[in-house]
Structures are given as C-alpha cells and as structure tokens.
Structure 1
Amino acid sequence: MFGFSNPKTAPATPSEKPAVTTPKSNEPHPLDALTGGAFSAHTAGERAQRIRDWLVTNPSYEQMHEVFQELNGRDRGAAKPLREKLDELKRTKGAEIIAAEWARKATALLALPKLNMADAMAWQRDAAKAGAPLSKEPLAALKVQLADRVKGIEDLQHRVQVQREAAVLLAQRIEVLSTKPWRDAQAALEVLGADVKHWQDQATELASDTNWTSVDGKYPTMLDSSRGQLLVVWDAFQAALALTVAADADAAAPLPPVNVWADELRVARGVPLEAAKSDRPAKQAKAPVDPALREAANKAVQEALTKVEQEVAEGHGKASAGAAAALRNALKEHNRLVDDKLGNAAQAALAAAGELEGWQRWRADQLREELLIKAEGLLKRPDGHALGGRKMQDTLRQMREQWKQTDQGGVPNHALWKRFDDACNEAYKVVEAWLDKVKTDAVAHKAQRLALIEEVKAWAAENVTAKDGDWKGFSRILHQFGDRWRDAGHLGEKAFAEMQPLWKEAIGLAAAPLENLQKASVDRRHAMIEEAKVLGAAPVLRIDAVKALQQRWQAEAQSVPMDRKFEQKLWDAFRKPLDDAFNRKTEEREKSAAALSDRDRMVLEAAKALDAANASGDAQKIRAAMAGLEAALRGQALAQAAVNADKAEAVAQSAVQAESQAAAPVTEVSEENPAPAQAESAPEATETVANAEPAAEAAPVEPPKPVRKPVVAMRGDDRPGMKKAEPVQAGRGGKFGDRKDGPRTPRPGDNKFEPRRDERGPRDGGRDGGRDAGRWGDRPAFEDRGPRLGDAAFRAQRDALENAQHALKKLAAQAHGEVLTDLLTAWEKRDVAQLPSVQALGHGVNPATRSAWSQSISAPAKADDKAAGEALLRLEIAAEAPTPAELVSARRMLQLQLLTKRNDPSPAQTWAQDTAKVLASPFDAGNARRMQTVLKVLLKR
C-alpha cells in the first residue's frame, strides 16, 4: 500500500488558530495524469486495472519505459503488464531489425542485374537460421520474389536447352530433305521456312528476357552457336534449292551442289546415270598439312583433354577450372590442325567442366557451413555434456580433413575458414586438458607396474614351492597377479613395449615351480590315458579297474591345478576309450534284449489279440482275449516249473542210485510232514552225491518241491474286504490272546538270548538254512514264474490289460444304463416283455425278485400314493440318495419310525420289495427319475 492519500492532521487546540496551522498537502505524481490515476489509486487491483486501461491507448515506448521505472519499485504486480508489453516490443523490435537486415539483403540481391543463383537459394535458409520472420511482411513478399526470380532463371535455362534441341531437329529435317527429290523439298520449303522463322523469334525472345543476364554464361553461348549453325544450314539449303529450280528451267544453268538433286536434273536432261556420277565434281582436297605438326597438335590437345576429364570425374572444381583454361588455350593454338573427333571431345569436356565449376562452388559453401555448425556445436551439446578427450581429438581431426578436401574441390572461403578455425581451437582446449591428464596417468601407471613387478619377484623368492602342498592357492595367487597387471591402467605403446618383457620374466620366474609340477602331472595323465585305452580295448570290461583308474585321475586333478581348457582336452582323451567300451557293452545288451524269446513273442501276440478285442467293443471277446493273455503268461511259467521238476526228479533219482550203491538207509519222505524228512535226508543226500560219479557231480542238486495237500474243508473268510475263497488266518483266542489250538510257539527273537535269524545255522532257520527249517520252514517256497519278460512284451501286456479293464468298465456302465431304461420303460408301458432278464439285472436280483417285479408290472396299477411314496423314501434311504426338498420332512419322519422298529428289516434289506410296490403303482415322471437314481446304486450292490 503506497502512501499516496493525504495523512490526517492533528486536531487544533483552542489556543491555536486555524489560519496559522494549515494542513500539509502532497502534490500529485507527475505521471498520474498520464496513466489515468494509476499512482493515486488506493488498491493494487485498481492500480493494475488502470495500467491495463492505459496500455490500450497505445502509448509510446519511452512513456511506457518511464512509467515502468517509477512503478516497478513500488508495485511489481501492477508493473507486470508494462513489463510484458515492453518485452514484446523488444522482441518485435529485434525481429523488425533482423527482418530489415534480411530484407535489405534480399532487395540487394533482386537489384543485381545478374543474380547469383547460389546466394539467392541460400538466402531463405540463412534467414531462417538467424530467426527472421519469413512469414511476415516484407520478408514474405521478398521470399516469393526471390523464388520467382530463381524459378524464372531456371526456366530460362531450360528453354535455352530446348531451343538447342529444336535447332538440331530443324537441321536434321533440312538434311533429310536434301536426300529426297528436289520437288519434295520445294513443297516443304514454305513450312520449313516458317519453322525456322518461329525458332529465331523464340531465340530473340529468350535473349530479350530480363533474367537473361543472370543465366549461366554457357547458355548464351549455347544459344548463339545453335542459331549460327541453323542459319548456315538454312541458307545453304535455300541457295541449293534456288539453283535447282533455275537449272530445271534452263538446261545451260549450273547444277546444284546437292548430289541427289544434281543426278535428278541430269537424268531429266537425258544424261545416263553412270555418266552423271562420273561428271560429279571431285571434292576439293584440303591443303596438305605436315604430319608432324598435326601429331604434335593432337598430342597437346589430348593431354589437356585427359587432364580435364580426370578432374571432372573426381569432382575437383578448382582443379578442373585450371585444366579447362589450359584446354581452351590449346584449342586456340592448334584449332586448324586438330582432328574433328578430338575437337568435338574437347568441346564436350569444356562444357562439363563449366557445369562442375558452378555447382562445385555452391556445394563447397554448403559443406563448409555444415562443418562450421558442427565445430561451433562441439561445446554446446544439447545434453550439456562435452565430448571426451579422445573423441574430441578424433572429431576435430576428421573435420579439418573434410575442410581440406572441400578446399581442394572449390574456391576457398576465408571468412568461413576463420570462424571454423576459431571454433576448432576453442574445442581443442578439451583435448589439451585430456592430454595433460593422460601424461600424468601414464607416469602413475608406469610406477604402479614397476612396483607390481618387484612384488612378484619378491613373492617368487619366498615361495619356491606351495605352502602345505596347496598348489591351487599357488595358482590362484598367480592369477591375481595377472589380473592386477591387466588392471594397472593404460600405457603408451612404447612404454608398454618396454614394460612387457620385464613382466613376463618376473611372472615366469614365479610360475616356474607350478609349471614343472604341471609338466610331471601331464606325463602321469598321459600314462593313465594309455591305461584307459588298454582297459577299453580288453574283451571283458573290468569295472573295478575302471573305477580305480578314475579315482587316480580325480586325485591327480585335485592335487595339481591346470588350465581349464587343456585339462578338459586331457579328460576327454582319457574318458573316450572308456566311454567307447561302455557304449559297446550297452549296444551288446540292447541287441540281446532286442531279440525276442518265445515267451515274449507269445505274450506280444496275445496282447495284440486283446487290443483287437478292445477295439471291437464286445465284452465276451475282451474277456476271452484277457484269458488268452493270462494263459500265455501262466503257460510259460508252468512250462518252466515242469522243467525244474524234471531236473529235481533227475537229481533225486541220481541220489537214490548213489545211496543204493553205498548201502545206506534212506528215510522216506512223509506226505504228512515233508519238511522234516527232507531236512533229515538233505545231508545224507549231499554226502552221497559228493561220492557219486562225475556225471552226477555236474548236475545241480535241487530238492523236489513239497507237494501241498488239497484242501478238503475250510472256513471262508466272510469279513468285509476279505475273499471267501481263502481260509481264515489263525488269530489269537481267549481273553489274553491264548491260542485255542495250543500254546504259542515262541518266535525267534522273543528270547534275547536266542541268536538272530541271520546268525542261526541251517537247522535254526537262518539265512543259510533257507525256508526248510524253523518257523519260516512252514512257508512254501516262491513259485518260479520263469524268465523275466522283455521290456516290449511287458509294456504291451500291461497296456493291453489296462485298456481291456477300462473297456469292460465302460461296457458295464453302458449295459447298466440300458437295463435301467428297459426297466422304467416296462413300468411305463406295463409290458412284462420289456423287463430285463435276471442276468441283465445283475447279481443283486434273483429270479424270485424278478418274478415279483413282473407280477407288479403285469397287474393293473394300484393308485396307492401313500404306499408308493413310502416305498420310494425307503429306497432313497437304502441307496443314500437325495430326496426332493418337499419330501425331506417325510423322510425324516420315516427314519424316526424305523428307529422305533428294531426287529424290522432295514430298507437296505427290503429294497427289492419296495421296488415291487413302486412298480405296482401308476407311472409318474418324477417318481421315475427318483427310481432311476436309487436303482443306479442298488443294482450294482
């Protein structure tokens, strides 16, 4: 808040007079009236509004600047619009200055009588880089004028080329007419003259164009040359045609110089054609020229021409200009002596050199400006980070080389070179700082490497061998020395070449003990490789020897460290012969396993037959095929058992013969208790066999199998989960486990003083006694199931059996569904014929039950909903099936009633009778669904 308002005056005392104490008044600010009362405003918002209103009146720049100076120190918020306005005026003024400068340049270019195409085309690009407002006047108009001027010049040059081609075509038309009859040429004379006149008018129009002075110098020369050649040909054609017309009118007139027309006139005068050709005037021979002079002139022009063509091909504008000048001088000097072909080639080369010179000058300036922008931007990168020393050095070197190449191909530009050189020198300061740092670091790195060499030498003197035999630690330290050498910093090529031999000598001295040990280890490993080759080549592979050799290799590898790659090569050479031997053994095993035995072949055939039966979907075929597969498996086992029995019988007979010869008593084997008799006769038989003939010694002695008595009567095991066909296992009886059949025989191991099972002898039932003694002697021996099946046969029979069981389950489910459907259909239609048979209904339904169901279906339906509903509830309780929600209460009530009737049969026992009651009732769709749910469970029990 500024104190622009009048302060309150102190109240006057009664003794004072008002006239004497007049209040002190402040004069208004000098700029208050100018700004519309901005300085006398009471609030900042009011003051800012008055400033904005004053700015609408467009005050002058000086007034705004003065007001801003006064107001900015008191109220910056109110001075903000003034600041923005002044900044805008400054920008506008700066843009106007730049626009005026580039407008002046454009006006100067347009005022030139000969406009430089390169400068005119570069004006717009340079003005845009300088920030000139090209979209505003007057630069917009000047830009259009320059573009139109450049376009007019380019169009004028193009029209000159078109005129040159038109002149060539007109000359060709004239030459073609000179080869046709003269009357055709006379008929086309008027049209041809009009075309020539039109061409001359167009050429004159081109020369009178305002931009004609601005075209390249080669185009006026081109147009004048075309005009001269066309007029020469046209004048000669007119003169020859006039002579032809005169000779046709007067036979004494001379013939024209055109051979075709002259021959035509001779024929018209009656002169034979052969005589006419002989009367042709011979061509005037040129004056003889000294061959030496002609050769010297051609050589001088050819050398100058070759130089021009070479410079033009390489694009050197500056060099090509000098070569073109030398070629022009050579042509001026030897023009009359040079061949026409060589002269035409020289003119074409001069034209190409002229085009290259103009283009090269403009292109060279473009390349220089691009290099200048790059040089000035080396220290002003967008990311704010300057290039590193090495990168900066390479960049500056490349840019200077590019500038030199540009100067070789065009005229030098000294102003641009000065700016480019200053920018490069400024950027080179970064390179100088980097070079100083590199030198300092090189001295430090050299000292660090020398210290490392001395450290390695001292360590080598102290560690002639590994401490505690730890050669791995010895090798690890050497690797650490190598890592430190590699990380010791950068050195120059010369310094590194001096340091490297010293380092190799020191590290070689330190690694000498390890290298000697490695050399001896390599010799030992080569010896083990030879041993491995011998073991691998042996006909029988010794696994124990291979394991021992591998353990020796591992011990050697763990004790002596070596280079990983070299050690891997040795290991590969060591394991190769062993791997080959194991692979050979594996191949032999696979070959033997691949050969199918008779048993495998029979099992495979039975498995294929079972697969075919599974595919047929016939349960009887599947069961028959399963029986065939089981028979194939059992048949081979029985055959093997028969062979073993024959062997045992032969051994027994030989033993009997031996005993009879020895006149020793033989104890008969009792059928009631075969094991003791066999156990008692075993030693005697063994002794007898030992004294028998050599043929008996060769045969293996196998005791005959004990023949088990057929079971006459036994008690079936009717416990849940047990099979009734198997006898009940003897269990403990009595309250405290006293056996009813007598006291329990103490088992081995119950007495701690009794030897263990594996410590007892043959008579005690130990391992050596087998299954013929002690408590374990009561058990029968394992049945010999014959040789083991091959992998292919085993997998085939297993998969076939699994698929058969799955197919039978699927067929049973389908059959069960069909049975239920037929049963419900018979109920619905009251047709006994559709009721399934006893076999189809399953083992849970006997003939009496089916007869009751058939009577219920055949009898007329009884509308007893209560009995049928209760029967359905009993069936759902028996099957443990869910009950509809509306009947849940009735089911609970029925269950309570059943609990009170303990002696009545349960629903699970009377489900057949309940089913008969439901079938006797009328058919109902809801009851049918409930019946299907419960019978699906009950029929499977």
Structure 2
Amino acid sequence: MTSTSTKPHDLQSLDTMTGGAFTAPTSGERAQRIRDWLAGNPAPEQMQEVFKELSGRDKGAARLLREKLDELKRARGQEAIAAEWAQKAEALLAQPKLNIADALAWQRDAAKAGAPLSREPLASFKARLAERVKGIEDLQHRAQVHREAAVLLAQRFEVLSTKGWRDAQAAEEALRADVTHWQQQAAEITADGNWTSLDAKFAPQLESSKAQLLVVSDAFHQALGQTVAAAEDAAAPLPPVPVWADELRVARGGAPEAAPPAPQKPPAPKVDPEKRAAAQAAVEAALAKLEQETAEGHGKGSAGAAAALRAVLKEHGKMVDAPLEARVHAALVAAGELEGWQRWSADKVREDLVAKAESLLKRPEGQALGGRKMQETLRSLREQWKQADQGGVPNHALWKRFDEACNEAHKVVEAWLDKVRADAAEHRAQRLALIEEVKAWAEAQAGNTDLKAYNRALHQFADRWRDAGHVGEKVFVELQPQWNAAFGVARAPFEVAQKASIERRQAMIAEATELGAAPMLRIDAVKALQQRWQAEAQTVPLDRRQEQKLWDTFRAPIDEAFNRKTADREKAAAAMSEHDRYVLDASKALEAANATGDAQKIRAAVARLEGALRGEAPPPAPPAQKTAAADGPSVGATEAVAPGQAAAEFGESAEQVPASGDAEASPPSAAAEAAAPTPDLVAPADGADASARTDAAEAEAEAEAEAPPAPAAPPKPAPKPVIAVRGDDRPGNKKAEAAPMGRGNSRFGGDRRDSRSGPPGRAGDRAGPGAGRFGDRPPREERGPRLGDTAFRAQRDALERAEQALRKLAAQAHGEALTQVLGAWEQRDASKLPSVQELGRAVTPAVRGQWSQALTSGPSAKADDAAEALLRLEMAAEVPTPAEQLDARRALQLKLLTRRGDPAPAQTWGQDAGTVLAAAHDAALARRLQNALKALLRK
C-alpha cells in the first residue's frame, strides 16, 4: 500500500525536477526537456531514478539518459585506470635505476588499457618519463663521446712522440690541461643522477678509457722529463722514445741508431679459388640468416643463427676476406646484445602478466569485473603469455604463479556461465510461452474489426519477443522459425485488410487524378473524396512511410488543380482593363490629396474617383493647368469654396457653406456643383448631410422645371436605395440578392403600387420606358463597369482614408473654432469671434450675430440668467453638470416640465450661449461652456 501511494507523488516530483518531461504531450518535447535538464548536470542518482521511470514510457527520451549514464560510467572507469597507471608511473620515477624499456612499456600498456594519456595526471607523468628517458639517452651518448675523446687524446700523445722533443715540450702544458678537463667531465658524467640507469657496460668502458689515458699521459710526461734531463746532461740516459733518443744522439755528435731489419713473413700458401668462393658463399648464407633474425627481433632464432654462423666460421674462417669478416663480427655482436635483451624483456613481460592475473581478485568491490569481462581478460592474459614465451627462454616459476592466479580468477567465470545457462533456459521457456500465447490470441481474434487495436497488439507481441531475454545461438535458431510461423498466422488477417485498403486508396488516387484533370474543379467532390480518404486512414492503419507516400500521391493532382485555378485567377486579376486603370489612377490621386491635408482637394479627388467609378473618362487637362489638375480641383472650384470649409463634417456639400460670416449662403456656382460629390453614389454621413442633399435635389428639380423639356432624352430615374447585404466583397464573387420589400411598407414610397405617377390601373404608366417587370419599379441604376480586385480594393481604401482625413480635419477645425470663441469671450473682443464657416453648420449667421453683439455690449447679463442659460446648455448637450449644480439642474428640469409651450433647450442653445457670453468671464463657467459647446457644435 505504501509503494502504490507514494508512486504518483514520486512521478510528480520527478516531472517537476525534469521540467515536465513526464507530462509532455509528444516524444519530441519529452526528449527536448530531458536535454534541457541534462544540461544542468544533475546528480547520477537522480538520472538513474528518472531513467528507471522513463524507460518504460518513452525509450527515445530514455536513450538520452542511458547515454549520459554510460558516459559517466566510462569517465569513472577512466579515472580508476588513470589512478592505477599514475601509481605505476610514480613507482617508475621513484626508482633510482630506470630502465628505458620499462618507461616505453608503461606508455604502450597504458594506451592499450584505455588510460587517458592526454589528460592529467597521466599527461604530466608521460612528459616526465619522456624527459627522464631523454636524459638517460643523452647521458649514454655523452659517455660514448667521452670514450672517443679519451682515444683522441691518447692519439695526440702518440703523434707527439713521433715528432721532436722540443715540439712535445711546447705542447705538454696544453695536453696536461686537456687531460685534467677530461677527468673533470668524466667525474660529472658519473655523478649524474641517471648514471645508475645506464647499461652496466658503460661504467667499465669509461673506467678503462680513463685508466688507459692516464697511463699514456704519465708515460709521455715521464719520457719527456727524461729527454729534457738527457739534453742538459750528456751523461744522462737517453729516453725510451726512439725519435727523441736519435735527436739527442745527433746533438751529442753521434749517429742515429739504425733500425733493425723487419722480419720477412713466409709467403701464404695459395688457396684454390673454388674453395675460397664456396667458403665465401657459406659464410654469406649464414650471415644473411643471422641478420634477418636479428632485424625481426627473434631471440631464439637469432641465437640459433649465431651458433650456425660460428660453426661455419670455424671451418671456413681462414678463407674469408676482410670486409666479410667485419660484417660477420658486427652481426655476432648485435645478436649477442639482442639475446640478452630478449631474455630480460620476456621476464619483465611475464612479471607484469603475473601481477595483472593476481590483481584480478584483489579489486575493490565496486570495481570487480563481471563474468564476461573476466573471461575476456583471462583469455587476453594467456595470449600475451604465449607471445612472451615465443620471444625468450621459458620461466617455469613465473608460469606456475600465473597459472594459479588465472585458475583462481576463472571461478568467477564459471559462476557467471552457470547463471547464463539458467537464464537461457528461463528465457527459452518464456519465448515458448509467448509463441503459444500468440497462437491462442490469433484464434480468439477471428472476427475482430478494430484494426487499430489489432495492430497495436501485434506491435506489443513483437516488442515482448524482442525483450524476452538472451538465448544462445543454437536455441535462437530453433525458436525463431516457430515464432515467425505463429506471428505470420496472427498477422495474416491484418495484412489482408491492409492490402484491400491499399487497393481502395489506389482507386481514390485515380479519382483524384480525374478530378484534378477536369477543366472545372468540383470542390464538393474533392471534399467528399478527402473525407473518404480520412475515414479509410482512420479505419486501416498502414506503415507510416507507405501511408505518407500514398497520401502525397493522392493530394498531388488536387493541389495541382488548385494551383492552376489560383494561377488563372491571378492571371485574370493581372489583366487590368482601361476602366480599372482610370479608377486606379483616381484612387492614387485621392491618396495624394489625403496626404496634403486639404479638405477642398480631398473632396475634389473624391468627385473624380466617383466619376471614374461611373465609367466617365477623365477630361484632358489644359496645358496651362496640368499641374493644378494633378494637385487638386480646378481654379473655379477653389474660388467657389470658402477657406473655412474644413469645419464641415465629411459628406457636407458645397451648397451649405455661406460665402461670408454674416451674410446668408449664396447659390453655388457651376464649378462648385461640378466639384461636389454626386449624392447618388456617396452615402450620407449623417442626417444633416441627408437634408442638404434633399435641398440640392429640390433646387435641381426646380431648375429642370423652368428649362424647356428635352423630348429626345428619357427622364432620369429615381436613385435606387442602397440596401446593405452581408457576404464576400471580392470581385468575381456572386453577391446575395436582397430580399424584396413588402408592398405595404410605407417607409419606401417608391416601391408601393400607389406611388406611381398615374392612378392605379393605367396600362400606359406600366408600359413606359424603364418600367419594371410589372410596371411598379424603376429601371436599375447604371453603376458603371465591373472592377477588378486591385482597382476595387484601391478605390475602397482611398475612400475610407478620405473619410477619415475629412473627419480629422473637421475635428481640428472644430477645436480651433471653440478655442477662439472662449478667447473672444475672455477678451470681450467680437473681432476674434470665428466666422460662420469656421463654426460649422450648427451655428447660423443670426446666432453668430447675437454672440458678437453680446461680446460688444460688455458684461450686461445677470449672474442668475447666465447660470440658468449654462444649465440649459448642458441639458441640450447632454453633458454632466458639476456636483454643486445638480440641485439647480433638477429644479430647472421641473420648471421646464410646467412650461410645455416653451421651446426646449436643444432649440434655444444658441441664444443661451449668447446669454452666457453676455455675462462676465469666469474660468469655471468657461470650462462648463466649453464642454457644452464641444458637443453642440458637432450636431
């Protein structure tokens, strides 16, 4: 109970520790979170615990942990090996007599054992051993050179003994100094710390060279002293040196002693040339064999070849010439050295093998070798022993120790082999039981239609067979055919279903190819085919690669058809008509006008764009006015519109703006009418614009009534009301038709049957030109040619930006006008009051005149009247009143309720503002007046 209750808590803690690796939705995310967690170098115990829990859930993510744990294990093993070989290196360096072969063998054996020689501390030990070996070799070379120097000094003594004694006397001091210096150097060589590490032959050689040099030096100096004494005293005996004795005899007046005649050697007997050639050939054959064995390093072979060469020399040595004799001597010397070296080297290798075999069972408990590793190590040690026996004389004592250590270590191998046999028998039984389970499961799943669960169970059986444990080669060969047969029988229904599914998918691929090749792509058929494919894929699972390949083949013709359709659409959109170019140029001109920030230019550009939308070609600009036509409206339009027109809202026509601040609005000029936007194509921005367009329409109707009728032109139909519909506004898309309006709806008089020009029932009215299907509707308005996608979007965006720019300009102008009103009130200066155009359409010239008169007359209104007028202004503007004036506002509201005949505050706000302006200026009143007028001037 305790383990089951703590396991969820352990998983939760492990998931928190690993950053959510256990709760990640996909294997890739789990692996990435495990990598991020391992980057922080967690403890090995934590990694082992996470690996134990994760190995059964996600083997891909657990592989990262296993590799990290193996790396740490190898690192610990290398640390142990490094410590072991570091101890051996320290022992070698601590020896007073270091053998070069031992130092070289340490590096070679450490590399074979896998020790990290490139890392500390082995790198420093390697460098120290190399330096020690180099020192020994240098000392050996110095000793040999010093021997040669002793020979050269002795030769100098001999050469001087052949010259005159006076020359010898002159060089005596230099020779004495050289001998002394040679003795000092010899003492330094013998005092070097590496002298004991040299081969034993160098010490006697150097001593013999020293003794010989001293003997020659003493004899030379003694003979020279005797010669000097004989030269000074004629009775003194002559020196033993013949040259000097002859020189002294001549100096005493005698004759030199005649040299005794050289004894004549008896002539050597003549040798038969054939015998000499046979002797030469026999010696050369034995010499070649010896040189080959010596070069290959075979100790036993070189010893036998040397013995054979000595035997040949005993028989044919007298008939061998001098060069061949020198070669024979050098080869025998090399073979003798190699024989001693191989014997010594073989014993050192055997001692190392014995030490390794005895240390196998002396390892710490944590570093003990397993059965397989122990078996491989013992096999390697015995092979190395065989190789050592091939290069030297056998050593039976060391062999006995080595064999006993190996036999003792082999007990671990025997125990491991017994365990392996027991595990193999158990694994064999498990595999046989699994085969029987697969057979029983296959019989039970005869009518199963859930192919996904069927495939999942097959995968689970395959994983269990793969993880069933190790068996021997012979057992595996026996069981594998049985497993293949049982698993094949169980998998046969699934493979049949997969084959049928592949055939169905191939048929759907053929259908997709036909659909893609059709001239008109049927979207409904493509969707239905894709749904069939998805249903098939969810019903019968396939191999991932095969399923992906089939899916790519299936979707290729459909994707190609869609790409072809897209290309055709883009090609059609790219082919821009002349009408689209007119609209696009007008849209660019409107964008340029929007950038200028001039309301007049923006309205003129809007008018040109609307004309282009109706299909009207732009008139050619005169040469003198090309620049003006490109930048904005014509000169006539500029003169007809006042500068303060920026205060008007978007959609306000030029007819509403008066020519001056105090006079009434003048009738519009022809240029202004041409520049004003057509009310049939632009929707009104608010109610004021609608009323303005109504007035303009009435004025136009009166002008047409006064003019003589034109019989040739048909009457202009009434504009069709704009009906908002929802849908896609892309070019080429069929817009939904608006629902027909009811005939009894009084809101649209044009659609009612009784709104026609004649009384109902007259056939002449219905049959007139432009009548609808039943004579009750006017003909459809001509809206111009259809636009392409590029031109449509360009004109739409340009109109939207123009509306925003005009509203922004109107807001700016409105704020400036309100500031000027408050400044004129504060300074009591009527000349600073804005004009009617700047105040906007909400302020009439009469109201502005009243405000100007109130400012001119000075503070004449009473405070109570101004306060009541300010409350009426706030009520008309529907803005909040300060808290201290709420009671007064409620009282005024009750008062207005009793006066039903009086005009409302919304109708008299102009006069109320004049009353406030007639009072004295106050900062609090000015703030309240500003808030009220800000809302009222916009209405």
For normalisation by structure 2, the TM-score amounts to 0.48
Larger radius of gyration: 1
For normalisation by structure 1, the TM-score amounts to 0.48
